[in-house]
């Protein structure tokens, strides 16, 4: 199956990976942390602001692929503190139209660059 990398200067990758890969009718978006693409530095604020930055970065990658949050069928959220779940959810729900995508949320010991939240997506381009 042919695959195509999707990149945008409106988000940042911090390692040797693609921001997104299109394979068939699906686009797999790598996890985004709350990094400001203009400065390359993490936003360090409350978890709501950090979640918003993750989702804005993902929005930019989706747009580079010609997609929106309405195309998202699965998301994975990684939190370093499950106590942030409620505040993350408040921001998260504002980005996705119903029906919401399937989702997993897991607590992890650490995330790249000391981030407290990271979100990855799978989007469907099909008809």
Question: All domains of the chain, ordered by start, with CATH?
Answer: 3-124 (3.30.1330.40)
Confidence band for 91, pLDDT divided at 50, 70 and 90: very high
Cα→Cα distances 7→22, 24, 39, 48, 107, Å: 11, 17, 17, 25, 28
**pLDDT, tens digit, for every residue of 22-57?**
999 999 999 999 999 999 999 989 999 999 999 999
pLDDT of residue 12: 82
Confidence band for 119, pLDDT divided at 50, 70 and 90: very high
Q: How far apart are the first and last CA of the chain?
A: 19
pLDDT of residue 21: 97
3-state secondary structure of 9: coil
Q: Among residues of the chain, what percentage have pLDDT more than 90?
A: 90
Of residues 2 and 115, the one with the higher pLDDT is 115
pLDDT of residue 59: 98
């Amino acid at each position: 199956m042919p695959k195509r990398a999707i990149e945008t200067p409106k988000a940042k990758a911090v390692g040797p990976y693609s921001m997104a890969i299109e394979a068939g009718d699906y686009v797999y978006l790598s996890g985004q942390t709350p990094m400001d693409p203009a400065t390359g530095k993490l936003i360090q604020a409350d978890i709501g602001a950090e979640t918003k930055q993750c989702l804005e970065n993902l929005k930019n990658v989706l747009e580079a692929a010609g997609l929106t949050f309405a195309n998202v069928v699965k998301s994975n959220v990684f939190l370093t503190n499950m106590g942030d779940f409620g505040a993350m959810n408040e921001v998260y729900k504002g980005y996705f139209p119903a029906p919401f995508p399937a989702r997993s949320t897991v607590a992890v010991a650490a995330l790249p660059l000391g981030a407290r939240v990271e979100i990855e997506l799978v989007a469907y381009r099909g008809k």
